[in-house]
Chain A
Amino acid sequence: MPYAPEHDEIPNPLRPGLRAESAPEPCAMVIFGATGDLARRKLVPALYNLAVTGHLAAAFGIVGVAKSEHSAEEFARDMREAVGTFSRTKPIDPEIWQDFAAGVRYVSGSFDQPETFARLRAQLEELDRTRSTRGNRLYYFATPPSAFPTLLKGLKSAGLINPPNDSRFTRVVIEKPFGRDLASARALNRLVLETCDERQVFRIDHYLGKETVQNLLVFRFANSIFEPIWNRRFVDHVQITAGEELGIEGRGRYYEEAGILRDMIQNHVLQLVCLTGMEPPVAFDADAVRDEKIKVLRGVETFETPEQVARNVVVGQYTAGSIGGMDVPGYQQEKDVAPGSRTPTFVAMRLNVRSWRWDGVPFYIRSGKRMPKRATEIAVHFQPLPHSLFGEGATQPNVLIARVQPEEGIALRFSVKVPGERYRPRTVSMDFRYGATFGMTVPEAYERLLLDAMRGDQTLFTRRDEVEAAWKIVDSILKVTGSPEFAPPHPYPAGTWGPPAADQLLAQDGRAWRQL
């Protein structure tokens, strides 16, 4: 458990130099929205896998809270089925499951009823007695954001939140989206911080739990050769792509409210911008890392006028098309999507980060649904040669690519001589692939993040100011693109990399998107 000693405290004599990671403290985890998709697909399988790998405290229990009427046994049975379907380790080990399921409880009830929280308290106290969970609580809000205020009030009124300096910890994990614009994010932060201290709040962005995203920090700050060239003197531009083949998968109601800017840009993609652009932190701890990330967000130029948005941002919406040889419907034909909807399912934009390191280096980012394939990557394009010895256009500028998914890894593109008498350069790729280099199974993002939350390590969770700074950027776009005066999203056929306007955005700078 990361822990900062008080001034007058004697340091732990057994801690220095240990290679063993801290085990999480005993705790009871409460999942609000326990019968929902997130709990079934991600949270419970992640917890089970932590038990399989020996990372979960044996003194652990889960309380599921949801409206549906279930007994604890029925809930545990549902969870077993979910683990059987969605866990990365299969089949289920009966002995581990038996121990795991012995700590599963369920409370049914409405979140706005005090009785629900009274029953929750009774279950938690029972877990403290029977599973030695020692009064430590991890509350996970796997609910729509509209329920967050009610949950916080309910927990507070029932006395279920201990102060941050209490020997029994209380931590609250809040799923994205954290607010739907800057004003609502600020209001939610105020509400959260009326109930908890910032040290108790874990705003989750599962992208940060991915090994390859974390590897960006290692790649940048554990290799001395890249640092001298990681700046405006050597980098021409940066391209960040986060594309998905999938459409909205029956989540029309959610997506109509969110759109690509809230769903992907405000959180995942801006986090990638931060990790690419940040300065080296003074230490590898939660606040030092987040201090540097926020400087990048604060440096991003926001758009002040509709003209600036029109010049730098392209929004699109998919129409019917074909992906992987299968016909797929257009966005407006999806369930729960309004005819004539103006919700963007694609965005491409040009950002400028005002800093000594990056000013003048465009960060082109694009993200969309129903792209030809699933691909998330960061490509750092270095400047072209000042003068080519081998003929005009004979060489391509170097590109360093960090692939987040799939085929996680890093590639460097550079020129070599084609064998033969003449000096004919060709660009080749030097490729590092995670899967091939390390033969271990990579844990799911939620495993890492849940473990960190249990340990109290906030490094991979977003801080209040970070969330608000990201919203400030996205808000400046939403205000314009959401207005009826702004042109509707450009249509693009499903199975393409967005509308032609996205290509023009780079073409006007004399550049082009990478072919993925």
Chain B
Amino acid sequence: MSENFGEPISAGAAPRTRDSGELTLKFDTGFDLRRIERLLQQARERGGPTPESVCTLNLIAIFFNAGQYERARETLEVAGQIHPCRLVVVIGDPLIEQESLTASASVSRSGGAITIERLVLSATGRAVRHLESAMMGLLRPDLPRVVFWGGRPHGDLMRRAVESADRIITDSGARPAAYLAELAKLLAKGAPIGDLAWARIFPWQGLAADTLDLPNLREHRGNIRKARVVCAGAVGAEGLLLLGWMQSRIKRLQIQILAEGESEAEEEIVASSTCPRPAPMGLGQVKALEFEAPPATFTVRREKGILVANVKGDDDGYCANRVRLPPETPGRLLALELKLLSGYDDLYAQAAQAAAGLLASVRT
């Protein structure tokens, strides 16, 4: 599977230079939480009197090398501005033999208050075993814990952190489609998983549902027989989830998923624009959704930054609606997922279970 499969979680983000206000400590044998707390306090006090700190959640981001964090950095920052948090980034790279332990602290301010308290814990070699307990000790009490799972699991590392989370957010769209099967297993056990690929198909779901709410098309609601999803270049998680969602909502639905054409090049959409735009259609993302309720056929397709819903067989060529895809700023999808801070997303779980079932019939 290609490395650029789907949309990376840091879509459109240029790596940020490190804040000049970042303070760093190195440790020899293990982390010292009191020193890290003091470091954070120093970061708070930089630049004058300490402003109030606003915090609505603990956002824990887990990576297995520094590059992964750099790619996701802006996504986390933007989401953190919208949902003020203590951001604890954990970077563990056991593949580097030499042991090292560092912690850095910095803050971001907004509206006269500190809105992100940022702690970055890094470890390499055998020292990665210290990361989990250090991270757990640095979380703010009484606030929801959301884990942003941006890397791949390495054995049991971080298992306790993930198991104790109120919510785990991943991006199946940035992984091979088979990853959905792993997610489906976890969801079946009740894991509170959120998925950026799921957030990415909200506009498709909304428009498909809106079309069936139009007064002259409501008569077709009970008669949906077939559904087909077309992905760009290869079958990806978004397409599988969209089809899985349709299948979980409508009994005895005949389904088909296929890949057609190619993904969009970045420059096709991101012109010299001053406003955030929908991200280009990445490899494996959804190009079109069709569903048949004889004699009517509904089509929702993507035309650059616009979703167009058409109906044939009722009033021929009837354009039900055209909606703009929301702007794809880094972090918007994560911020969207962070609106749900705890609990189990039933609709997603059902869609993911159905999507996992489709995998066998799909050559990705």
Please list the residues of chain A having a beta carbon within 8 angstroms of any beta carbon in chain B: 1, 3, 9-23, 25-26, 51-59, 89, 91-96, 132, 134, 167, 431, 433, 435-440
Assess whether B323 is in contact with A437, with CB atoms less than 8 Å apart.
no
Assess whether B112 is in contact with A13, with CB atoms less than 8 Å apart.
no
Residue of A18, A58, A436 touching B347 (CB-CB under 8 A): A18
Beyond A14-B249, A23-B207, whether A436 also contacts B215 by CB under 8 A is no
Any A CB within 8 A of the CB of B81: yes
* 24 A-B pairs (CB sep. < 8 Å): A12-B218, A13-B212, A14-B208, A15-B212, A15-B213, A17-B346, A18-B209, A23-B210, A52-B275, A52-B327, A54-B203, A54-B324, A57-B323, A58-B322, A92-B274, A435-B110, A436-B52, A436-B84, A436-B110, A436-B111, A436-B112, A437-B54, A437-B84, A437-B115
Assess whether B221 is in contact with A439, with CB atoms less than 8 Å apart.
no
Given contacts A18-B206, A53-B326, 14 further A-B contacts (CB under 8 A): A1-B210, A3-B213, A10-B222, A13-B250, A17-B347, A21-B206, A22-B210, A54-B278, A58-B323, A58-B324, A59-B321, A167-B216, A436-B52, A438-B82
Q: How far is the CB of B195 from chain A (nearest CB, A)?
A: 12
Which of chain A's residues have a CB closer than 8 A to the CB of B213?
1, 3, 12, 15, 22
Assess whether A12 is in contact with B111, with CB atoms less than 8 Å apart.
no
Q: How far is the CB of A492 from chain B (nearest CB, A)?
A: 33
Chain A residues touching B, majority SS: loop
Query: Which of A9, A95, A431 has the most C-beta atoms of chain B within 10 angstroms of its own C-beta?
Result: A95
Q: How far is the CB of A396 from chain B (nearest CB, A)?
A: 22
What is the bound-complex CA distance between A93 and B270, given in angstroms? 12
Which of chain B's residues have a CB closer than 8 A to the CB of A3?
213
What is the bound-complex CA distance between A167 and B258, given in angstroms? 35
What is the bound-complex CA distance between A20 and B207, given in angstroms? 9
Assess whether B321 is in contact with A9, with CB atoms less than 8 Å apart.
no
Any A CB within 8 A of the CB of B13: no
Assess whether B218 is in contact with A9, with CB atoms less than 8 Å apart.
yes
Any A CB within 8 A of the CB of B66: no
Q: Mark each residue of chain B from 259 to 276: 1 if its CB lies under 8 Å from any CB of chain A, else 0.
A: 000000000000101110
Q: How far is the CB of B316 from chain A (nearest CB, A)?
A: 14
Query: Which of B83, B213, B324 has the most C-beta atoms of chain A within 10 angstroms of its own C-beta?
Result: B324
Q: How far is the CB of B227 from chain A (nearest CB, A)?
A: 10
Q: How far is the CB of B281 from chain A (nearest CB, A)?
A: 16
Which of chain B's residues have a CB closer than 8 A to the CB of A92?
274
Any A CB within 8 A of the CB of B325: yes
Residue of A1, A10, A20, A436 touching B205 (CB-CB under 8 A): A20
Please list the residues of chain B having a beta carbon within 8 angstroms of any beta carbon in chain A: 52, 54, 56, 80-84, 110-113, 115, 202-203, 205-210, 212-216, 218, 221-222, 224, 246, 249-250, 271, 273-275, 278, 306, 308, 319, 321-327, 335, 340, 346-347
Assess whether B322 is in contact with A26, with CB atoms less than 8 Å apart.
yes
Q: How far is the CB of A84 from chain B (nearest CB, A)?
A: 12
Residue of B111, B202, B216, B224 touching A435 (CB-CB under 8 A): B111
Query: Which of A18, A22, A436 has the most C-beta atoms of chain B within 10 angstroms of its own C-beta?
Result: A436
Q: How far is the CB of A382 from chain B (nearest CB, A)?
A: 24
Which of chain A's residues have a CB closer than 8 A to the CB of B84?
436-439
Assess whether A20 is in contact with B82, with CB atoms less than 8 Å apart.
no
Which of chain B's residues have a CB closer than 8 A to the CB of A21?
206
Assess whether B327 is in contact with A53, with CB atoms less than 8 Å apart.
yes
What is the bound-complex CA distance between A95 and B212, given in angstroms? 31
What is the bound-complex CA distance between A19 and B112, given in angstroms? 32
Which of chain B's residues have a CB closer than 8 A to the CB of A93?
273-275
Q: How far is the CB of A6 from chain B (nearest CB, A)?
A: 9
Residue of B111, B250, B321 touching A23 (CB-CB under 8 A): B321
Assess whether A22 is in contact with B206, with CB atoms less than 8 Å apart.
yes
Which of chain B's residues have a CB closer than 8 A to the CB of A1?
210, 213
Residue of A11, A19, A91, A134 touching B202 (CB-CB under 8 A): A19
Beyond A54-B326, A167-B216, A436-B52, whether A23 also contacts B206 by CB under 8 A is yes
Assess whether B322 is in contact with A57, with CB atoms less than 8 Å apart.
yes
Assess whether B214 is in contact with A25, with CB atoms less than 8 Å apart.
yes
Which of chain A's residues have a CB closer than 8 A to the CB of B273?
93, 95
Which of chain A's residues have a CB closer than 8 A to the CB of B218?
9-10, 12
Q: How far is the CB of A13 from chain B (nearest CB, A)?
A: 5
Assess whether A54 is in contact with B327, with CB atoms less than 8 Å apart.
yes
Assess whether B221 is in contact with A10, with CB atoms less than 8 Å apart.
yes
Which of chain B's residues have a CB closer than 8 A to the CB of A19?
202, 340, 347
Beyond A53-B327, A57-B322, A58-B322, whether A14 also contacts B205 by CB under 8 A is yes
Residue of A53, A436, A440 touching B82 (CB-CB under 8 A): A440
Which of chain B's residues have a CB closer than 8 A to the CB of A436?
52, 54, 84, 110-113, 115
Q: How far is the CB of B265 from chain A (nearest CB, A)?
A: 17
Assess whether A433 is in contact with B111, with CB atoms less than 8 Å apart.
yes
Which of chain A's residues have a CB closer than 8 A to the CB of B335?
440
Q: How far is the CB of B207 from chain A (nearest CB, A)?
A: 6
Which of chain B's residues have a CB closer than 8 A to the CB of A56?
324
Beyond A13-B224, A13-B250, A14-B205, whether A132 also contacts B322 by CB under 8 A is yes
**Cβ-closest 8 pairs across A and B:** A20-B206, A58-B322, A439-B81, A436-B113, A436-B111, A54-B326, A20-B202, A93-B275
What is the bound-complex CA distance between A19 and B110, given in angstroms? 28
Assess whether A51 is in contact with B324, with CB atoms less than 8 Å apart.
yes
Q: How far is the CB of A270 from chain B (nearest CB, A)?
A: 31
